Amino acid sequence: MTSETPDLSGQDPNTPVVVGVGQSSERLDDPGYRRMSAVELAAAAAREALADTGADTATVASAIDMVAGVRQFEISTPGAPAPLGKSDNYPRSVARRIGADPARAILEVVGGQSPQHLLNEMAATIARGEAQAALIFGSEAISTTQALAKAEDRPDFTEHVGGQLEDRGWGLEGLMSLHQASHGLTDAPSQYALFENARRARLGQSREEYAAGMGALFAPFTEVAAKNPHASAPVRRSAEELVTVTEKNRMIADPYPRYVVARDKVNQGAAVLVMSVSTARRLGVPEERWVFLHGHADLRERDLMERADLSRSPAAVMAAEHALEVAGIGVGELATIDLYSCFPIAVSNVADGLGLKADDPRGLTLTGGLPFFGGAGNNYSMHAIAETVQRARTAPGTFGLVGANGGSLSKYSVGVYSTTPTAWRPDRSAALQAEIDSWDAPEEARRADGWATIETYTIKYGRDGSRTGVVIGRLEADDRRFIALTHQGDEDMLDLLSAGEPIGRRGYVRSFGFGNRVTTDEQRMDALLPRREPVLRDDYEFVTVRRDGHLLEVTINRPEARNSLTPQANDELDEVFDAYFADPDLWVAILTGAGDKSFSAGNDLKYSASGKPMWVPKNGFAGLTSRRNMTKPVIAAVNGYAMGGGCEIALACHLTVADETAKFALSEVKVGLAAGAGGLVRLPRAIPRKIATEMILTGRQVTADEALGLGLVNRVVPAGTALEGARALAAEILEGSPTSVRASLQVMAETEGIADTVDAVDHPSSALDNLMVSQDAIEGMTAFAQKRRPQWKNR
């Protein structure tokens, strides 16, 4: 036995060892271009991994009892298109092609951490004796899909495969939110650009200095990619060329031109085979093919808006440091390094933490990196693992590190590899994760108003030359963090973000139903988005209004759509109720729906599914469900169905009159949603909790008579007379003092959250004080004494 031949005689039989790696690829202009599907690319890589073991491939395939697939782009987000079709069981589609019939098949969650995370997990499973061999793979055929999507002879990649599948879902929780999406953060370049600009400001560098640094970091990557036969863009580029903006190298999101952004147009696949030492011996895998996982870690960063410092991701650094700690080595003992490189900061963040320089002689990539080798979807790091394993075999006893990043610097998985034998070593990722989760987080202001300081920013550039600024900042009043967009055409704010150092500068932010908007000052905000005067218009597109003395009748006028609400309809209702609450001559309002079939079906699901912009006014559905200080009564006249958001609107009204055909339901669970516009809160407070829970969890409809018995409505009237019934109730209210009505509603609202009855009774309220000195109080008592009807002054 030579010094380069490891002694494996005393190895634990369950010790996991990587025994085979494989890669596959094709380009559209390759002479032998085969139009391979994602499944076929993964299968080709899997065959390479089987052959790489040096053992009989059929025998090795038959020993595989676990397969795990990394998601492609087209199965990574809700509603993602698959123009050429896809497999409904990707892992088993691949397994079937290589002659494997595993007992367990896994489809992993979204994220570039997936390859290394799966290898860490599969290795631990094998170490526990729960499996003998696992094949992990992933692939993308995005170039082929985009090129052939509209071709007459396009292939059909649809596959229906039976068998068990552990589909772990998208795993997008915390990686995206409707609030962030409504503020432009739907794409990776914009999110990473926020971190990049924060880092530049922390380092005190000018835009030119920082751009030069990004170029210097990635120029060596292009040299590696140029030599890699699987690279999608094997072109050497200088540091200057990478960051010089040209027609071909257009700006994507400040500070990123296209050349430093991960490349998604690829046809690539990669696979890794890991098995126990005993299985490797039984199958005849030569020991010189064995590579051990010496260190490993998996950590998750706090969600974007919860991070104390947007210029860093300390969780990623902790993962790398812990993997090295488990391996028992330092950074200086690494022979090879591959850091996930979707954008420069994904590399520099970890490099900064580990003390690595851009010109480290070992290099920071083995593949060429995501912008140059190719970085589609979630599978890049499978290629990095394959390269690391091959390098480890050519230099026995050396160590290689792979850092795999997912989300927006969100998830980080690390592996340390070497041919040197080692026992399986458990990591302490769970304890470290608990520490990360305990870190203090800034408080977020979903609705931000007032002067603020810019914390970080980016400008998104459209192909049409359009620009949109995205700002994360802190409110001066309370230091809460917010996200905001620039308003269309606000060149003043875009100029501020485009030159010099915007971070630390003041701006002015205001919240709207469609999100937060930021500009240079309050006067500019008023000019861009004038405040709406709270007055009734003569006509509306989606509602009708009728004024009868002190009574306002509002009708949702979309009977063809069951009076469901689009964002525009909600805006009109919000405007109407703003005017109602501001007009001293309007004392009571009635809300109803046109026709006799439906009060409102709530959110217009057809509109929602259309992909058009979605928003809800700050005051909620119909301008009511989130409105504070509803100081004057609103009566719901329910004619027919009050479903989903329609039921939530009725719940938000002070009083409800229903005709005998009315039915109420929080039906959101039937369409995969939840009653988030107040139904989950108001219904359990309005009726017995168990009944409310049943309605919420089943979507069960409640009839008008049942609703009356539960106290959900005030009155039930004959079919077709809901509006007349509401008018009668309004007339009774109008007989009383409007000042008293307002004061009563105010005290009820103020004491709603006070549990102790006496404390609620003794609650001091300015409403009662003001009422006692009002003209209505004097008029009411005087009229009573004089035995006449009072003439209310409403003051």
- Tell the burial category of 499 from Cβ atoms under 10 Å away from its Cβ (0-12, 13-18, 19+): exposed
- Predicted pLDDT of residue 762: 82
Provide the pLDDT for residue 753.
85
Spatial CB neighbours of 282, under 8 Å, sequence gap ≥ 6:
63
pLDDT, residue 181, reads 85
What SS3 state is found at 338?
A: strand
- Residues above pLDDT 90, as percent of the chain: 82
Q: Is the pLDDT of residue 330 over 70?
A: yes
Asked if the peptide bond before residue 13 counts as cis, ω within 30 degrees of 0, the response is no
pLDDT of residue 361: 96
Q: Where does residue 278 rank: exposed (0-12), middle (13-18), buried (19+ CB within 10 A)?
A: middle
Helix (H) or strand (E) holding 20: strand 16-25
**pLDDT tens-place string over residues 692-702:** 999 999 999 99
What values do phi and psi take at 452, rounded to 5? -150, 165
Q: Which amino acid appears at position 412 of this protein? A: Y
**Selected residue with higher pLDDT from 765 and 250:** 250
- Residue 659's SS3 state is strand
Residue 1, pLDDT score: 36
Condensed to tens digits (0 to 9), the pLDDT of residues 504-535 reads 999 999 999 999 999 999 999 999 999 889 99
Q: What is the DSSP code string of 588-643? A: EEEEEESSSSEEE--B-HHHHHTT------TT-GGGTTT-S---S-EEEEE-SEEE
Average pLDDT over residues 434-445: 96
pLDDT of residue 634: 97
Rounded to two decimals, what is the model's pTM? Answer: 0.89
Rounded mean pLDDT of the chain? 94
More confident residue, 776 or 745: 745
Rounded-to-integer distance, Cα 681 and Cα 669, Å: 15
pLDDT over 70 (residue 592):
yes
- pLDDT band at 5; cut points 50, 70, 90: very low
Q: Using alpha carbons only, how large is the chain's radius of gyration in Å?
A: 32
Query: Is the confidence at residue 402, as pLDDT, over 70?
Result: yes
- Environment class of 210 (CB within 10 Å of its CB; exposed 0-12, middle 13-18, buried 19+): buried
State the catalytic residues. Answer: 648, 668
pLDDT at 4 over 60: no
- CA dist., res. 366 & res. 374, Å (int): 12
What digits encode the pLDDT tens for the residues 182-241? 888 888 999 999 999 999 999 999 999 999 999 999 999 999 999 999 999 999 999 999
Q: Report the percentage of the chain scoring pLDDT > 70.
A: 99
Handedness of CA 328, 333, 336, 339 (dihedral sign): positive
pLDDT of residue 9: 55
| Burial class of residue 450 (count of CB atoms within 10 Å of its CB; 0-12, 13-18, 19+) | middle
Per-residue pLDDT tens over the stretch 702-744: 999 999 999 999 999 999 999 999 999 999 999 988 888 888 8
| Mean pLDDT, range 257-274, rounded to an integer | 96
Residue 297, judged by CB atoms within 10 A of its CB (0-12, 13-18, 19+), counts as buried
Name the band, by pLDDT with cuts 50, 70 and 90, for residue 101: very high
Contact between 390 and 19 (Cβ < 8 Å): no
> What three-state secondary structure class fits 471?
strand
Q: pLDDT digit string (tens) for 606-649? A: 887 777 888 899 999 999 999 998 999 999 999 999 999 999 99
Q: What is the DSSP letter of 503?
A: T
**Is the confidence at residue 746, as pLDDT, over 70?**
yes
What is residue 604's predicted lDDT score, i.e. its pLDDT?
Answer: 86
pLDDT-derived band at 8 (thresholds 50, 70, 90) equals low
Burial state string for 167-204 with b = 16 or more CB within 10 A and e = fewer than 16 = beebbeebbbbeebebbbbeebbbbbbbbbbbbbbeee
pLDDT tens digits, one per residue of 382-395: 999 999 999 999 99
10 band by pLDDT with thresholds 50, 70 and 90: low
**Is the pLDDT assigned to residue 354 strictly greater than 90?**
yes
In order, the DSSP letters of 84-140 are: T--BSSHHHHHHHHTT---SEEEEPPSSTTHHHHHHHHHHHHHHTTS-SEEEEEEEE
The three-point CA angle 408-413-414 to 5° equals 130
Average pLDDT over residues 282-300: 98
Of the pLDDT bands very low, low, confident and very high (cuts 50, 70, 90), residue 664 is very high
The 10 Å Cβ neighbour count of residue 755 is 6
pLDDT band of residue 3 (cuts 50, 70, 90) is: very low
The pLDDT of residue 755: 86
When pLDDT is cut at 50, 70 and 90, the band that residue 400 belongs to is very high
